[in-house]
Amino acid sequence: MNWYGCVTALVDNIDSPTPKAERTMRTLSWFQEALVRATILVEGVVTVVVIPQSAGKAEDHDGRGSTEGTSETSNEEIAAASLWLPPGKTLDMGPRTVIRSGVLKVLWGWGVKGVKRVLFDFSPAVERSLERSFKAHGHDRLDSWHLLEVVVDPNHQKKGYSSLLMEEGFRRAFPKPVHLEATTSVKRDIYARYGFEVDEEHQFGVGQVDKNGIKAKGEAATGYPEWIMTKWST
């Protein structure tokens, strides 16, 4: 996200952000909203963990949650969510879907450079990696699930909600492969524990950004890593 958005500095204080940090957070919010809307519009799957607000403020010792839908009452909150694209579904959207999803607002926030990075640098590289990997395994790239994102509210981490969402998704995907992109070595290692294998590693923005995707120069401009990973057996 930092690389796409051409972010020049990490947001280190969300409670009292600078004007530049506010713009960064606003664009990130637009992106997340557009991603959820786009997933729904292309007939993907959005799964949420919903808990009573009172339970969210107390310690949850058993790590159990619910993947059922949420009501509109104020006594519940979403603790975690995951976005999945079924086989044959992609985010290659037509003009109407692009407008309805809110993607245009995100692209405006990123600017021309950000749009280029997503459409001409990142997406083609990922697609080539997947094509090579699926061909080597004798699978059709489009006959697979794409795990777009798993997110957990910081206030509800380490309670088993990621595992709940992943396992529920694997049951739905069976017996198809599932692929994803990991943006940090920590996330890569977490996904590996769920059975994902690294297909290829890419280094984007070499000479332009650091490992966090933040604008950098000299030795710090290592580029940021992205691991293409697939779970072949669900």
- Whether 68 has a pLDDT exceeding 50, the answer reads no
Amino acid identity of residue 232, one-letter, is W
Question: Within 10 A of 206 (CB to CB), how many other CB atoms are there?
Answer: 11
Mean pLDDT computed over 49-55: 81
Is the pTM higher than 0.85? The answer reads yes
Considering only CA atoms, which of 155, 148, 183, 190 is closest in space to residue 49?
155
pLDDT value of residue 64: 47
- Whether 67 has a pLDDT exceeding 80, the answer reads no
pLDDT value of residue 57: 54
pLDDT value of residue 16: 85
Q: What angle do CA 196, 41, 195 make, to 5 degrees?
A: 5
Compute the radius of gyration of the chain from its Cα atoms.
18
Predicted confidence (pLDDT) per residue in 83-118, tens digit: 999 999 999 888 899 899 999 999 999 898 888 888
Between the alpha carbon of residue 147 and those of residues 87, 110, 228, 231, the distances in Å are 11, 23, 11, 10
Predicted confidence (pLDDT) per residue in 4-44, tens digit: 888 888 888 888 888 888 999 999 999 999 999 999 999 99
3-state class (DSSP) for residue 78: strand
pLDDT value of residue 122: 92
Predicted confidence (pLDDT) per residue in 127-147, tens digit: 999 999 999 999 999 999 999
Q: Which residue has the higher pLDDT, 18 or 45?
A: 45
